[in-house]
Amino acid sequence: MTYLRKEELPKIETKFEVRNEDNDEPAEMTLYGTIREANRWDDPEDDTFITSKKVRDKLNELDGQNLNIHIKTRGGDAFESLEIRNMLKEYEGDVNVYIRSLAASGGSIIATAAEKVYMFESAMQMIHKAWTIALGNANDLMDVAARLEKLDSSLRRAYMNKFVGSEAELDKLLADETYLTAEEALAFGLADEIIVDDDLEEDEEEETEEQNNVKENLFNKYKENIKNKKRESKPDEESGLFNAFKK
């Protein structure tokens, strides 16, 4: 587990909405902020976090219309994230995910439900094993550890829906709490296409230094998956894909 100081983690403002201006085009869902289950004492109108119930209600309104989901989150509750992910897998319409900056933890789990995951060249995903805070005696803590191992098994199944490597290789990345660039996510199968900034030139230099850590070794093994999966221009401004971000 990597711990960062509080000042290094500026809060992601919660924004959850669906825009559906044209029934002939995919609806646009914005999913920004913390994902967690509502507590008994929470105000039902509280919009400072995202729950599976809120997502379910929006999906029911769309009635199977194709959907683009724009994710920006550090994650949150694992079970709520799995619930959202599995609802999207059952959804009748096509689901695509767009990552502009960060889909971490539960956000990367939700992304595994998409038929295609599009990442901007500078965006990242983060994957890790489940963790919690617990109090109790040795027996209590062993019980917690056993439940976490079961939860890790569920998370692994979700990632393996897209991951191109073996379960053992995935386990190493999860144990390292790995941040993945768009290119690394593409190589590992966790992204399907990179949206390249027209104003940036791709670095053609090949890596020559020997790679020693788990992520770089696996990246070198699977980087052939990157070929022909980069979008060389920005999305069509008239396509509606990113109208959700226009003000």
Lowest mean pLDDT among 96-105, 121-130, 156-165, 221-230: 221-230
**Residue 76, SS3 per DSSP:** strand
Beta bridge partners of 197: none
Q: Indicate the pairing of strand 193-195 with strand 116-120.
A: parallel
Cα 127 from chain centroid?
Answer: 8
Lowest mean pLDDT among 5-9, 59-63, 71-75, 205-209: 205-209
Tokens standing for residue 62: 């769309």
Higher pLDDT, 11 or 201: 11
CB 176 within 8 A of CB 214: yes
pTM given for the model: 0.78
pLDDT, tens only, 32-54: 999 988 888 887 777 888 999 99
pLDDT, tens only, 45-94: 778 889 999 999 999 999 899 999 999 999 999 999 999 999 999 999 99
User: What are the residues whose beta carbons fall under 8 Å from the beta carbon of 80, sequence distance 6 or more?
Assistant: 35, 36, 37, 51, 52, 106
In what helix (H) or strand (E) does residue 99 lie, and over which residues does it extend? strand 95-104
